[in-house]
Every structure is written in structure tokens, then in C-alpha cells.
């Protein structure tokens, strides 16, 4: 069933924007905790296998939803595949580097380094979407990065490869957010179609990665493979991958790529502190803890500027692009008021 293109409607309401942002935040917290327990607590040896499971579950759920009439997106064709590129490569890079960084670093350091994605997003939006950002927004981003640098300077559990994974994930996150915005605004796929073909095109690549890194042998030799508790967290990680992917598209569609990136960092306020007790790999130091707090304050300051004080096109907020392809999206939390659907 092909999707049909519609003209863009009125700008989503504030409640729709907050609902989309909250949905994304909760989804991100749940999957990060599930991934951390799976990869660190249980020491599951293959992050690419986790990525593969998330892709497969997303494809299956979307096919079921389309068969049941819950979503609409175009049938497979070469022209549709061309429309989504280069998103599949960016998306896969984001997933693999993010999972690898989660495994290598403690959650507090992982989350604080993830704030560099905001800087990369700000730069990418300036060049690709021609968005301009106020001094106040730049200052809030600067506070976050200052805190991240202070925390990193006294990281007693420093892991160079972990830092590389996370910073690479930040770059992919910025590119992913901006390109999603371009695709959602310019094409008739809708968020569900974009999700489906993004995952479908990523699947062959992740299979090659699994072959190259010996994932099949690692998984078959994993001692806790049939442990019920491990299987629960692995299943949760796989399912939440689909939900998180949709929540990212939804939040980007009704808000902006930069708002999605900052909401992602704002929810890390909880993870920055709660993560000290998850995984058992955080080592406390005074300067590191101070840096975490400074970075958190920067996130709160930006959110105050961008969401709480947002009213129309103010000088302290980014312009928000209207949502498109409204008939092609999954039923979402923004539909509770029946007015503005993504």
C-alpha cells in the first residue's frame, strides 16, 4: 500500500511537542538501562547482535502494523530505497557505536559525553538546514560541554576506545537527526515508512559486521545465553530499540533535530545519577562529579530556553518545521487530544 502525500497542516501544539519529547525521553532511559545490563552486567560479547535483534524486531512489528492497517507506507521499490539514503548507513553507525560506547564506559560518563551530540547537531543544522541559533542557546550548549570536559579530565575509569565510540556516536546522532528532518519534510514516506526502510537497508550491513567480528561464535559460546533474567533484558533491549527509533522520528518531526538531541541529554539527568549504581563500573571523584553536575545544569538551562519559554518564533528558540505525511505515521502519544497528529 503506497503512502500518499498531503500538505502540511498547522504547527503541532505545545502539548503535542511535550508529549513527543517525553515519550522519547522515557524510551531512551529504558533502552539505555536494558542495554547496560545486557552488555555490562551480563557481559554479553556482541553489541552487533543486539543491533541485529533491534532491527529485526522493528521490521517485524512494522510489517504487522501495516498488515493490520495501523500504519501506511509505500511498498518496496528501488525508488523508495533511494529516497532514504544515506540514512541507513548513518543509523547503523549510530546504533553500533552507541552500543559499543555503552558497554565500554560507565553510564554517567557515557551520558555526559553524549552531550557533544548537541554541538554536532547545532553545527549540522546551521549548514544543512540553514537554522540560526541565539547566543543564549550557544551559551547553554557551552555550559554542557564545559561540564563534560571537566568530568572527562578526572575520569578514573578512562577508556580511550570507549571515548572514541561515544564521540563517533555523537557525530552519527547529529547527522541522523538532521537528515531525518530533511527526509520527513521533503518526502512522502512518513516516519513509519522511513523507519521500516531505514532498518531494512541497514540489515545486510549489520550481517556483514556480525560475520567480520565473529558474533555467531561469541553468542553460541556465551555462558548465560539461556539464563531467564538475561533473556528478559535482551528481549527488552530488542523491543525498546523499535520504540526508541520511532520516538526519535516523532520528536524530530514535531519539534526539531536540536530539540531531540537536547531532550536526549536532559533525560540523562536521571541516568547521570542513577547510572552510578547500574553496571557497577563508575568510580567516584570530586572533579568528575562536579563536571557531571555542571553539564546537567547546562541541559536544564537549554530546556528552559527551548521548551518551557518557547512561544512561537522567539529569539531564544529554533524555528520548528511543520510536520508532514500525517497519514503515514504510527499512532502516537500526541494523538490524545485528537488535534495535532504527527
What percent of the chain clears pLDDT 90, i.e. is strictly above it?
10
Q: What confidence score (pLDDT) does residue 229 get?
A: 93
Give the three cell numbers for residue 51: 543491533
To 10 degrees, the CA torsion angle through 73, 79, 84, 85? Answer: 170
Query: What does the pLDDT average to over 125-131?
Result: 74
Query: What does the pLDDT average to over 154-161?
Result: 74
Which range among 46-50, 128-132, 253-257, 319-323 shows the weakest confidence by mean pLDDT?
A: 319-323
* DSSP 3-state percent helix, strand, coil across the chain (nearest 5): 75, 0, 25
- pLDDT at 340 > cutoff 80: no
Q: Model confidence over 198-252: pLDDT tens digits?
A: 889 889 988 988 988 899 899 999 999 999 999 999 999 899 878 887 788 788 8
Query: What does the pLDDT average to over 89-110?
Result: 81
Q: What confidence score (pLDDT) does residue 222 get?
A: 93
Check residue 280 and give left, alpha or beta (phi > 0: left; psi -120 to 50: alpha): left
How crowded is the C-beta side of 76, counted as CA atoms within 13 Å?
8
Q: What is the distance, to the nearest Å, from the Cα of residue 43 to the centroid of all Cα atoms in its chain?
A: 23
Q: What confidence score (pLDDT) does residue 223 get?
A: 92
CA 203 to CA 207: how far, in whole Å? Answer: 6
CA 76 to CA 235: how far, in whole Å? Answer: 28
307 — pLDDT class (breaks 50, 70, 90)? low
Q: What is the distance, to the nearest Å, from the Cα of residue 174 to the centroid of all Cα atoms in its chain?
A: 10
Q: What confidence score (pLDDT) does residue 275 get?
A: 64
Which range among 30-34, 121-125, 167-171, 316-320 shows the weakest confidence by mean pLDDT?
A: 316-320
Mean pLDDT of the chain: 76
Coil vs helix vs strand at 327: helix
Query: What does the pLDDT average to over 256-274?
Result: 71
Spatial CB neighbours of 116, under 8 Å, sequence gap ≥ 6: 145, 148, 167, 170
Q: What confidence score (pLDDT) does residue 279 get?
A: 57
Amino acid at each position: 500500500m503506497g503512502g500518499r502525500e498531503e500538505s502540511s497542516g498547522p504547527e503541532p501544539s505545545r502539548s503535542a511537542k511535550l508529549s513527543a519529547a517525553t515519550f522519547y525521553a522515557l524510551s531512551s532511559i529504558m533502552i539505555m538501562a536494558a542495554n547496560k545490563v545486557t552488555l555490562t552486567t551480563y557481559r554479553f560479547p556482541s553489541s552487533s547482535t543486539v543491533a541485529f535483534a533491534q532491527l529485526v524486531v522493528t521490521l517485524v512489528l512494522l510489517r504487522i502494523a501495516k498488515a493490520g492497517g495501523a500504519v501506511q507506507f509505500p511498498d518496496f521499490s528501488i525508488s523508495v530505497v533511494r529516497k532514504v539514503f544515506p540514512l541507513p548507513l548513518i543509523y547503523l553507525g549510530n546504533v553500533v557505536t552507541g552500543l559499543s560506547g555503552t558497554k565500554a564506559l560507565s553510564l554517567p560518563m557515557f551520558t555526559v559525553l553524549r552531550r557533544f551530540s548537541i554541538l554536532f547537531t547545532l553545527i549540522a543544522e546551521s549548514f544543512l538546514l540553514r537554522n540560526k541559533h541565539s547566543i543564549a542557546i550557544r551559551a547553554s550548549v557551552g555550559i554542557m560541554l564545559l561540564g563534560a570536559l571537566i568530568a572527562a579530565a578526572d575520569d578514573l575509569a578512562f577508556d580511550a576506545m570507549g571515548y572514541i565510540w561515544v564521540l563517533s556516536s555523537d557525530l552519527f546522532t547529529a547527522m541522523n537527526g538532521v537528515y531525518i528532518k530533511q527526509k520527513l519534510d521533503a518526502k512522502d514516506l512518513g516516519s513509519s515508512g522511513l523507519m521500516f526502510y531505514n532498518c531494512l537497508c541497514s540489515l545486510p550491513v549489520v550481517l556483514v559486521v556480525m560475520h567480520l567480528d565473529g558474533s555467531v561464535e561469541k553468542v553460541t559460546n556465551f555462558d548465560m545465553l539461556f539464563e531467564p533474567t538475561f533473556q528478559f533484558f535482551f528481549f527488552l533491549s530488542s523491543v525498546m530499540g523499535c520504540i526508541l527509533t520511532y520516538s526519535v522520528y516523532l520528536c524530530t518531526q514535531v519539534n526539531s533535530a536540536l530539540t531531540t538531541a537536547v531532550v536526549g541529554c536532559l533525560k540523562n539527568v536521571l541516568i547521570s545519577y542513577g547510572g552510578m549504581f547500574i553496571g557497577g563500573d563508575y568510580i567516584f571523584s570530586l572533579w568528575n562529579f562536579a563536571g557531571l553536575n555542571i553539564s546537567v545544569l547546562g541541559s536544564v538551562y537549554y530546556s528552559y530556553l527551548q521548551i518551557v519559554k518557547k512561544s512561537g518564533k522567539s529569539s531564544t528558540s529554533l524555528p520548528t518545521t511543520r510536520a508532514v505525511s500525517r497519514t503515514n505515521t504510527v499512532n502516537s502519544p500526541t494523538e490524545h487530544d485528537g488535534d495535532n497528529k504527527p
